[in-house]
Chain A
Amino acid sequence: MALSKEVYKEFEDVVGEENICNDPAIMPSYYSTELSAVILPKNTAEVQAIVKLCNKHRLQFRAECTGWTFMMPGMVSQDFIYLDLRRMNRIIEINEKNMYAVVEPYVVSAQLQAELFKRGLNFCIKGAGSNTSALLRGHGHLDQTTSGDDRNHLALEWVTPEGEIVRSGSLGSSDEWFCGDGPGPSLRCILNSVVPPGTTPGIFTKTATKLYHWPGPARYPIVGKSPKYALSEVPPNMMVRYFSFPSAEKMYQAERKIGESEISYVLMGFNASMVSSNITTSNEEDFAILEQFLKEVQGPGFLVIIAGNSREDFEYKKRVLQHIVSEADGKSLEKVEDPEIEGILLCQCTRISASIRETFRAGGIFTSIPIMGQRDLCLRWSVGAGKAKEPLIEKGLIVDDGAAFFGWGVEQGHLGKTEIFCRYDPLNPEAKKAVEEWFQEQTARAFNENYFAMLMGLQADEVGPALSNYHIWWKKFKEAIDPNGVSPEVGTLA
């Protein structure tokens, strides 16, 4: 819907002429040709003013950081005011003593992490990659050490759907960011979106995130040129291995014991396909290496990074790892023991710099079912979801990855992330339809067979009654904080 000149002028007065645009030329890059306008606010005050104008004129808005998730089906709409938060790109504070960092939405994770490495610190980078915003909550390769999701956000600055500025936790009572729960308003269950639909209406303008110890170097000794960056040497007291197991049960046994013994810096449940994507520089090379790997691996597996704080610590962790893997009949993937490959994986899987290879490169697009839950239960479901991929692979509709799934424990515990995706050609409508059907069938199976419930998307009315009618409470909450219905329920934090 086109904005009237008068309304457009009101927004323009907030951000200046250069920072608002409704020209059709820019819309395809925001995945819609009918957005009302794209606006580039510079600070919280401008975000607030824009949101208030949206309420005044009953215009829906959506904000994005780097925009990664906008490829996801169902995330794209029209007639929105789009807030591209690119100009809000400052690291506000790195507090080494209290181990937190405060960032604006367009600081990318690679920037924050590089600053943290210099200080012997690290933080949870989302598995999507270090090209995504450091402000986001989520899960990823580092979850064993850095936890994930709502566990990492401390105080937050949030512009509500009505345009109020809420400062949560300690920020609500002082100028400190160290705590998300107080002294001051907590609102944790709302702001961190543990409740469905997984995102909170409104716009987050600053967040404090927890920091963790980093035992690795301040900067990796990278050699070579893109696309093959390697390390001149694997830094001392660091090691990468990939182990495959005869069954998902055996794999989970080893995963759980590694968690209990707290020896791994990274435990990433890559499947063989993800390892081959990481270490190869083209699709052709990827598929050739995968063919070799599929002959070598026994079944599902995971990648482990050991990072010792001293030589003794490193030796101890290695010995424990060896014992656990051996007990579970694990088998090391030989290629990963090659120091060059080890270095590549070490850098990529701690800097989270090659996720795009794992996801988009092979086919162009992917559709994923990500679940947070009890690992053994989710694993049982994902074996079936993998089986259900096989007919699509046979028909050549999705990329053959051995019908694999992946996942990992969070905080060394039994809870964790399990995920499975299909990669396919975005220009093939038959593939798209088949993958959508697979998605619907497998999420329905998960609910009907009591594995888990997909809380995001359109299934809320179906699964709500089985889960304390959360959807009714959520709807009431949403109506209370967004009486004008201007902040849609998906994709606020992209």
Chain B
Amino acid sequence: MGLEQYKGDVAMCCRCSACKFIPMQMVQGFQYANVCPSIAKYNYHSYSGGGRLNIAAVMLENGFNYTDRLLDIVYNCQMCGACGVSCNYAMDMEVLEPINEFRIKCVEDGKTNPALDKVIAGLRKQGTMVPGAKGKRADWAAGLKLKDATKEKVDVFYHVGCLTSYNKDMWKLARATVKILQKAGVDFGIGYENETCCGGRAHQMGYKEDFLNQAEKNMDMLKKAGVKTLVTSCADGYQAFKVLYDKYNLKGDLEVFHITEYIDKLIKDGKIKLNKKVNLNVTYHDPCHLGRLGEPWIHWKGKKIPGEKFVFDPPKEYRRGTNGVYEPPRDILDGIPGIKLTEMVRIKEYAWCCGAGGGVNESNPEFALWTAKERIEEAESTGAEAIVTACPWCEKTFNEAIKESGSDLKVYDIVEIVEKAI
């Protein structure tokens, strides 16, 4: 069905512009009212969530007229889903799904972005979304003597993710995660060279077939290894395993945890204690794919009830960003002695994106950086010394933005803070 299935949804856009801003009652002043990086940067209404739906509505009716500008609109979007949250505060309609389907259609029609093609070529060749990845996926684990979860039975499969595995600057996150899991006495292992990309980023970029290939490979590997529980410290990976695999009926009964959820559970079960003082004033950045896009997939099949109302049989429940992972990271930070958490204006379901998503990191690094700089400025406005996040992609982009802007702000993944506290 693809984009066609959302014909009714895209026609529902009333062009109210809510998709450009955080939900109206959460606006706290002139600053930090924007929620969509794309419209904030490019200004034409076409770059907003609503504008994208308006284009889809007309093209579904009149045919697809691909121009360079259209592709510029399509690919200059982090697929962060913030537009959908703001829209769905008031409206019953799908927003991000048709935007993603529009991209998938572009790829199917051969209207791709060369930079993203290159990333996908790397994925097909090396099984990773990190272009030009060198070395082996598990080089970071050298000397740690971790179990190979594909060869021996473990309670928990730790899926490390592409960026953490192949970017040496991010190895510290995997090692911190290992230290935490070991400290808690968790029986876990990694996939070593059998681990492959989750495919989530490929899906955001519109390469649905490549995503499905990766998903099938992963699930085959996990099933063969008898894995029941998967933990990942990558927000993209979390959303892929938990939400996208479920959407395409590939997840089965695999239990998926983000590391923040798992640490929170370990703390509440008394397996680890955060008893070392970490004197730091921090603010917390909600990664899009852990927060609003990390809420469970809702399976639904039905039809619009003919008539005047936009209602369905059976009733349709929308994913509005309500049930993302927001509290576990905050509970963890709150539990660390010495940590003072000050919130930014744009948080949780209406958090501003780090800029890296949707392939923008590769297709338009300048835009990714511009978006990250805005977040760094917002973080600085809280008076925090550091911005804490829970995704390596966010950490990488923030570090690049800080380097360019000359900010003194520090960036940490939450596992680094927990590592200091245990």
Contact A29 B50, beta carbon cutoff 8 Å: yes
**Of A110-118, A258-266, A459-467, which stretch is located at the interface?**
A110-118
Say if the beta carbon of B299 comes within 8 Å of chain A.
Answer: no
Say if the beta carbon of A425 comes within 8 Å of chain B.
Answer: yes
Say if the beta carbon of B281 comes within 8 Å of chain A.
Answer: no
Contact B348 A131, beta carbon cutoff 8 Å: no
Say if the beta carbon of B321 comes within 8 Å of chain A.
Answer: yes
Contact B308 A282, beta carbon cutoff 8 Å: no
Contact B24 A30, beta carbon cutoff 8 Å: no
CA distance A228 to B11 in the complex (A): 25
Can you name the residue of chain B whose Cβ is closest to the Cβ of A228?
A: B322
CB distance from B213 to the nearest CB of A (A): 31
**Of B51-59, B328-336, B365-373, which stretch is located at the interface?**
B51-59
Contact B70 A282, beta carbon cutoff 8 Å: no
Question: Contact mask B1-30 → A, CB, 8 Å, 1/0?
Answer: 000000010011011111011011111111
Cβ–Cβ < 8 Å partners of B86 in chain A: 226
Contact A29 B55, beta carbon cutoff 8 Å: yes
Cβ–Cβ < 8 Å partners of A131 in chain B: 16-18, 21, 24
Say if the beta carbon of A95 comes within 8 Å of chain B.
Answer: no
Contact B30 A226, beta carbon cutoff 8 Å: no
CA distance A60 to B317 in the complex (A): 45
Say if the beta carbon of B126 comes within 8 Å of chain A.
Answer: no
CA distance A115 to B85 in the complex (A): 24
Say if the beta carbon of B310 comes within 8 Å of chain A.
Answer: yes
Question: Contact mask B309-326 → A, CB, 8 Å, 1/0?
Answer: 111000101101110001
Contact A227 B14, beta carbon cutoff 8 Å: no
Q: A23-B70, A397-B308, A425-B308 are in contact. Are A110 and B90 (CB under 8 A)?
A: no
Contact B308 A118, beta carbon cutoff 8 Å: no
Can you name the residue of chain A whose Cβ is closest to the Cβ of B53?
A: A29
Question: Contact mask B88-108 → A, CB, 8 Å, 1/0?
Answer: 111110000000000000000
Say if the beta carbon of A423 comes within 8 Å of chain B.
Answer: yes
Say if the beta carbon of B398 comes within 8 Å of chain A.
Answer: no
Cβ–Cβ < 8 Å partners of B59 in chain A: 28
Can you name the residue of chain B whose Cβ is closest to the Cβ of A222?
A: B25
Say if the beta carbon of B46 comes within 8 Å of chain A.
Answer: yes
Contact A28 B54, beta carbon cutoff 8 Å: yes
Which of A112, A115, A128, A356 is packed against the most chain B CB atoms within 10 Å? Answer: A356
Contact B33 A111, beta carbon cutoff 8 Å: yes
Say if the beta carbon of A71 comes within 8 Å of chain B.
Answer: yes
Total A-B residue contacts, Cβ distance less than 8 Å? 200
Contact A364 B310, beta carbon cutoff 8 Å: yes
Cβ–Cβ < 8 Å partners of B65 in chain A: 24-25
Q: A114-B29, A396-B307 are in contact. Are A283 and B23 (CB under 8 A)?
A: no
**Of A147-155, A163-171, A320-328, A346-354, which stretch is located at the interface?**
A346-354
Contact B29 A118, beta carbon cutoff 8 Å: yes
CA distance A287 to B310 in the complex (A): 11
Q: A129-B16, A284-B311, A425-B310 are in contact. Are A28 and B55 (CB under 8 A)?
A: yes
Cβ–Cβ < 8 Å partners of A360 in chain B: 12, 14, 16, 90-91
Question: Contact mask A17-39 → B, CB, 8 Å, 1/0?
Answer: 00101011110111101000010
Question: Contact mask A341-368 → B, CB, 8 Å, 1/0?
Answer: 0000001100111101101111111000
CA distance A25 to B14 in the complex (A): 19
Contact B33 A108, beta carbon cutoff 8 Å: yes
What are 15 sample pairs from A and B whose C-beta atoms fall under 8 A apart?
A: A25-B46, A28-B54, A66-B20, A67-B17, A84-B44, A111-B27, A114-B30, A229-B25, A281-B320, A282-B315, A282-B317, A356-B16, A364-B310, A426-B12, A428-B308
Top 4 A-B pairs, shortest CB-CB distance:
A29-B51, A25-B70, A23-B69, A28-B58
Interface residues in chain A, defined as those with a beta carbon under 8 Å from any beta carbon in chain B: 19, 21, 23-26, 28-31, 33, 38, 40, 66-68, 70-71, 84, 86-87, 91, 107-108, 110-115, 118, 128-132, 219-220, 222, 225-229, 281-284, 287, 347-348, 351-354, 356-357, 359-365, 396-399, 423-428, 431
